[in-house]
Amino acid sequence: MSYMQLKITILTLHKKTTYRIVKYLSVNRKLISRLLYAILVIVAVSCSEVKQDYDFTIYNISIIDPVKKETVPNKTIYIKDGKIAKIEDSNDNHKSNGNSSIDGTNKFAIAGLWNMHTHICWKGDLNETIFPVLLSYGITGVRDMGGDLDILNRFKKQLLDDPSSGPNLYGPGPLIDGENPIHPDFSVALTDQNYKLILDSLYDRNIDFIKVYSLLSKDLVRQISQYSKDKNISFAGHISEYITPTEAAELQQKSFEHLNRIEDIRNDSLALKTFIATVKANNSWLCPTLLIYKRKIEIAQGKDLYHPLYDLIDEYLKNEWSQIKKKREGATSNPDKLEKLESIYKEQKELVKLFYKNNMQLLLGSDFGGMAFVYPGYSLHEEMALMQELGFDTYDILKMATYNPAVFFELTDTHGQIEKGKVADLVILNTDPVSDISNTLDINTVIKSGKIVKRPVSYTHLRAHETGRNL
């Protein structure tokens, strides 16, 4: 073959190959486009993953999940835009992720705590004094159980604008009581004539639930129950003096505060059994506030009631506490009175143990603002310690203080557990609360809505009665 013939042959083959390639590309244009697009997406995702930034991370932390009753070690929690962006197994690279990081080595993370019975909406500046204290003690949510509705809504507006400035807040505004209210300053007197007007006015001002009190007639409790069903809003509070505990449960009162009226049936096994069954059937809750019964005894005995938090308490409240102390002290000189207080407290504890044994839904609250020498923040930890004294499993106590409130308020999609996508309300503890619930006071860091709280209270580990100072 001559040189010229070889050249012509090569050119012919080249043209045929080029034609085939062009024809293939033309026929499979969509396939090629899709392949190129997929490659670009993979590259983009890979780049974004590398460049992904977080507000901060918590690495090598043990996460406590009281719902599953497990503690998972060596995890890294990524926080971004107020939420938990993701959770991964820890490795050395996690330490440098984000703008800042928290070393969780040998530490424990729990979801934010809730005080489900407190009073913080009775004075307009308590957001400035009480909110920081509550956050310092790891309390990222509260249920106010009666106060001024204007103050409640103003506080809620503040928290809407800056969720990290205080605990999540739910409340009813004023107490709803009978014609002669027990606490007239923070109550509305309901009658057969005005109940619809008053309930409508409160509902229109965006209350979260209706707080019922002790002197409502049976008919009015029934009207409130029906109103709640019609408006899809719950009612909770004291059991009226004019109905039985079981009747209150049948009317679907959502929670029973303290153990008022329930203690009246403690020795009637049939009535108690019926009450328990009715409460469970109607998905109601109990918030026993055992601490207030313990505190009544301590006041009567003249015990040391000082805690450093006393110096932060509003002067009005200090004066009120002082008057109560003077009135109730000296019971030790009256053995019958002191014996009665101690007997009541013993019976209350037995009731709470019975409710726990029967798997009833329990909430934890302390009644700050309603009971003397019950301190904000610290008192919830006291209530948890009382549950441990009764023999409760510590995982269950943590569940009562973190997850149960989320169930109660139907917030489990956003709160109550440390999970991806949920609001970053967390408490980092130096020591394990599962081994001893009092370790919830050994606080390292509090995170509210994805921001690290600047804690004004640095002495959360201090217990009351251990300060060497009395009042």
* Interatomic CA distance for residues 213 and 188, integer angstroms: 10
Q: Which long-range contacts (CB under 8 A, 24 or more apart) does 86-93 make?
A: 86/420, 87/63, 87/418, 87/419, 87/420, 90/59, 90/60, 90/61
The secondary structure of 168-208 as a DSSP string is EEE--SSEEE-SS-SSGGGEEE--TTTHHHHHHHHHHTT-S
For the residues 98-119, what does the mean pLDDT come to? Answer: 93
Higher pLDDT among residues 109 and 329, named by residue: 109
Residue 306: pLDDT over 60: yes
Higher pLDDT among residues 236 and 39, named by residue: 236
Which pLDDT band holds residue 5 (cuts at 50, 70, 90)? low
* Interatomic CA distance for residues 313 and 133, integer angstroms: 10
* Interatomic CA distance for residues 185 and 182, integer angstroms: 9
- Residue 460: per-residue pLDDT: 74
- Residue 35: per-residue pLDDT: 57
Q: What is the pLDDT of residues 79-92, one digit of tens each?
A: 999 999 999 999 86
The secondary structure of 84-151 as a DSSP string is EEEEEE--GGGGG-SS-EEE-TT-EEEEPEEEEEE---SSTTHHHHHHHHHHHTTEEEEEE-S--HHH
* Three-state secondary structure call for residue 421: coil
Q: What is the pLDDT of residues 261-279, one digit of tens each?
A: 999 999 999 999 999 999 9
- Residue 26: per-residue pLDDT: 53
Which region among 13-22, 215-224, 452-461 has the lowest average model confidence (pLDDT)? 13-22
* Interatomic CA distance for residues 135 and 163, integer angstroms: 12
Computed over every residue of the chain, the mean pLDDT equals 89
For the residues 151-178, what does the mean pLDDT come to? Answer: 98
Which pLDDT band holds residue 334 (cuts at 50, 70, 90)? confident
- Residue 457: per-residue pLDDT: 79
CA distances from residue 420 to 8, 47, 51, 81, 197 in whole angstroms, order as listed: 68, 22, 20, 13, 44
- Residue 47: per-residue pLDDT: 47
- Residue 328: per-residue pLDDT: 78
Residue 13: pLDDT over 50: no
CB 140 within 8 A of CB 448: yes
Phi then psi dihedrals of residue 98, to 5 deg: 85, 175
Write down the number of H helices and E strands in the chain: 13, 18
Residue 468: pLDDT over 50: no
CB 87 within 8 A of CB 41: no
* Interatomic CA distance for residues 309 and 460, integer angstroms: 9
- How many residues are recorded in the chain? 471
The secondary structure of 286-353 as a DSSP string is EE--HHHHHHHHHHHTT-----GGGGGS-HHHHHHHHHHHHHHTTGGG-HHHHHHHHHHHHHHHHHHH
Phi then psi dihedrals of residue 328, to 5 deg: -100, -15
* Interatomic CA distance for residues 262 and 414, integer angstroms: 33
Residue 43: pLDDT over 80: no
Nearest to 438 by CA among 361, 376, 356, 378: 378
Q: Which helix (H) or strand (E) holds 444?
A: strand 443-448
- Residue 458: per-residue pLDDT: 73
- Residue 11: per-residue pLDDT: 46
For the residues 11-40, what does the mean pLDDT come to? Answer: 53
Nearest to 274 by CA among 250, 240, 238: 250
Tell me the whole-structure pTM to 2 decimals: 0.87
- Residue 116: per-residue pLDDT: 98
Q: Which amino acid, residue 256?
A: F
> What 8-state DSSP symbol labels residue 256?
E
**Quick one: CA torsion of 353, 356, 358, 359, rounded to 10 degrees?**
180
Residue 419: pLDDT over 50: yes
CB neighbour list of residue 381: distance below 8 Å, 6 or more residues apart = 137, 438, 440, 441
* Interatomic CA distance for residues 177 and 327, integer angstroms: 26
